[in-house]
Structure 1
Amino acid sequence: MRWLVLILAAAAAGGLYAAQSPLVAHSAQVTAKPVAAIAAAPIGSEDRITLTPQQRREASAEGGFRQVPLSLLRVNRRMHYGDFEWNDEGVPAGPITIRVDLRTQLLSVFRGGHEIGTAVALYGADSKETPLGSFPVLWKGKDHRSSLYDAPMPFTLRLTGDGVAIHGSNVRWGAATHGCVGVPTEFARHLFAQAKVGDVVTIVRTPSPGPKATG
């Protein structure tokens, strides 16, 4: 069973600081929550779904998880542009890791292996693609403003020396960021409060699901 297989028929979207043309470089799609999140029985909370050992292995095999995923937030709806969930109730304090999947446009925040936040994210395309890899948070700025684009970038977590960051955005249809990862501003506020300099953000682009086997 694949980690992410429920795909909505949605085009890729852009962010607050994006060019105005629709994305054509990627066919990333917004997804529903993973099949694992739907199939597994909740343990301990109606808001959280504990993964089985097999589901943990399958999730880890998708890549980008620096902590073995132990549980996911229960999201009983399809997520659209601007949507997010945040719930860290009952999850012990500790360092967080952040995973961004450019194909599915989902950012997930994990603490101790437990997902505490997820949001539909924006990313860059064409000549300003969002880089893949693992990046420690270099700097935090609550009320940062881009000097290059003269645009507000609230709750910035800078990831690279040339300005790639996670920050609050007007998550909307039809454009591409200049390489940053944009998330709904209220979600960015929660993330900013949790993240520390040195926390690691891993950006991946998982392969599209292959054709379903028959016979």
Structure 2
Amino acid sequence: METSGVLRPGEYLWAPEGVAPGKLSIVVDLLRERLYVYRGGVEIGRTLIIYGADHKPTPTGSFPILEKDRDHISNLYNAPMPYMLRLTWGGVAIHGSGEDVDSRYATHGCIGVPDEFAALLFAQARKGDSVLVTRDWMPEVYGAEGVQVASAG
């Protein structure tokens, strides 16, 4: 996969073609406001994210996907959370957040991604797949936009 510039709000890259089937690994980089998807060590997707506001931060650490729910509604905020991938039983999840995902917005601790990307990720992810939530993921690789990463073909 090769990026050809800076991702804008609502944009994503998704290129799983030619990558062997297998367990996904997902990395959320809060500093860069990005989510990266790997299969077999090869990046197959990335997108911009929104994440927890200062008063309700997104926790860092390693989390398995505990539950999947295509049409989830938050029982705390009565808000839709389409394509929800639950990371904690306390309510933190990756989910669709519309198409205007940019730094003007925040969540109550969840990781919001564009709805189209959320649907693609939901279709590939399985319970037990690993999600790492960190800051400044692999700066030597992802420190600049437009960097070429492993080819999916």
Q: Which amino acid aligns with 1:116?
A: I
Distance in 1 separating the partners of 2:126 and 2:106 = 27
1:201 aligns with 2:117: no
Question: Contact (CA 8 Å) 2:62, 2:131: kept in 1 or not?
Answer: yes
Partner of 2:31: 103
Percent pairwise identity: 54
| Aligned-pair CA distance for 1:172 | 3.9
Tell me which of the two structures has the higher relative contact order, counting C-alpha pairs closer than 8 angstroms and 6 or more residues apart.
2
Name the SS for the 2:132 alignment partner: strand
Q: Unmatched 5+ residue regions in structure 2?
A: 140-153
Q: Which amino acid aligns with 2:76?
A: L
| Aligned-pair CA distance for 1:150 | 1.0
1:169 aligns with 2:101: no
Aligned residues: 136
Give me the TM-score of the superposition, normalised by structure 1. 0.61
The 5 Å alignment of 1:153-168 reads: 153-168=81-96
Equivalent in 179, 184, 209 of residue 114 of structure 2: 184
Give me the TM-score of the superposition, normalised by structure 2. 0.85
Q: Which of the two has higher C-alpha Rg?
A: 1
| Aligned-pair CA distance for 1:176 | 1.4
Q: Unmatched 5+ residue regions in structure 1?
A: 1-72, 210-215
Equivalent in 34, 42, 45 of residue 117 of structure 1: 45
* Higher strand proportion (structure 1 or 2): 2
Q: Which amino acid aligns with 2:15?
A: N
The 5 Å alignment of 1:25-36 reads: none
